[in-house]
Amino acid sequence: MRWVRRGHSAYVGFPSRLLTWTACDEGFSYMTIAVVGAGGQLGRDLCAVLGAGAAPLAHADAELTDGASLRRALEPLAPDWVINAAAFNLVDDAETRADEAFRVNALGVRELSAVCRDLGCGLVHYSTDYVFGLDAERHEPYAEHEAPGPINAYGTSKLAGEHFVRALGPRHFVFRTCGLYGLHGSGGKARNFVETMLRLGKERGEVRVVHDQTCTPTYTADLASATASLLKTSAFGLYHWTNAGSCTWHEFASEIFRQAGMGVKCLPITSDAYGSRARRPRYSVLSTARFVHLGLGAPRPWQDALGAYLDARARKPLTPIPSPHAHFGEP
């Protein structure tokens, strides 16, 4: 498929001109893609992949929990698609701030879904591997058709958001993903698991990381590219998408230090010893077979994605912002 630039409209949100695109061989015409939460690490990578076709909307442009705000931002654009990259993703904080987590991850998504329905545009939304976790004996990747079972407030709020999107109608994509990290950190503040490990390794020379949670860390640039590929299809519905393979957080941290050439001592600890407020799934690896079956390409291994991130980071260094505790990179 070849996409051709056809024109431009007003500046929206970020100072990058919105240009519309059409796909030459499948009848798409003048596609406009609004990105809600464009200031975050995934949102920025989405805008980079979509290029001039993206209409970036930061928090100041559109408040996810305010339907009137969303409508004011989106109506003038008349977008073909809205991508929601905004979320309350502080997993431990959600245990004591569940009202806020549900207001953003569930009720806010309901507001956005309603606006998209009224405007007649499709919606892309991101969910999490944390919709699973009830099966403590699980050792096989989860497929989309399997029953979810979250074990924390964050996962429950994200699952509720999924249901609102899927009630919108046929034109939607819901991505469940895991362990996101990207060059722009969280809100551009370089807060993700990779950055946290690099900072702690440099400061302490020794870190303790849980070894009894298995998942698949995912590079936001890769997820953004997968999203763009799926937008060129009409295969609407729910998809699992992560980088390939799986590891524990301890194995991920060890690989970060190895690839970064840092002689950091990485000690394994249990989840109980770490003492997080929120329970995490012991196993939450997602099967990407449904996406791969579409012929859009298989995700690259998480080790290769990490290497690409570190290479890109070296070309464009970030200044880490100290955080009070290590987040496990949840989406």
Q: By the 8 A CB rule, do 39 and 30 touch?
A: no
Q: By the 8 A CB rule, do 190 and 320 touch?
A: yes
Q: Give the model's pLDDT for residue 53.
A: 82
Q: By the 8 A CB rule, do 224 and 35 touch?
A: no
Residue position matching structure tokens 């950055």 = 195
Q: 169 is written with which tokens?
A: 């109608």
What is the Cα–Cα distance from 223 to 35, expressed in whole angstroms?
14
Q: Give the model's pLDDT for residue 164.
A: 97
What is the Cα–Cα distance from 66 to 81, expressed in whole angstroms?
19
What is the Cα–Cα distance from 297 to 152, expressed in whole angstroms?
33
The rounded average pLDDT for each run of 10 residues, N- to C-terminus, in the chain (331 residues) is 34 31 34 92 93 88 94 95 96 97 97 95 97 96 98 98 89 97 69 94 96 98 96 95 98 98 97 95 98 96 98 73 34 48
Alpha carbon separation from 264 to 254, 258, 271 (Å, rounded): 8, 9, 21
Q: What pTM does this model have?
A: 0.87
Q: Give the model's pLDDT for residue 190.
A: 54
DSSP annotation of 103 reads I
Q: Give the model's pLDDT for residue 317.
A: 55
Catalytic residues: 154
Q: 237 is written with which tokens?
A: 């519905």
Q: Give the model's pLDDT for residue 25.
A: 34
Q: Give the model's pLDDT for residue 330.
A: 42
Q: Give the model's pLDDT for residue 316.
A: 77
Residue 141 has φ and ψ, to the nearest 5°, of -55, 145
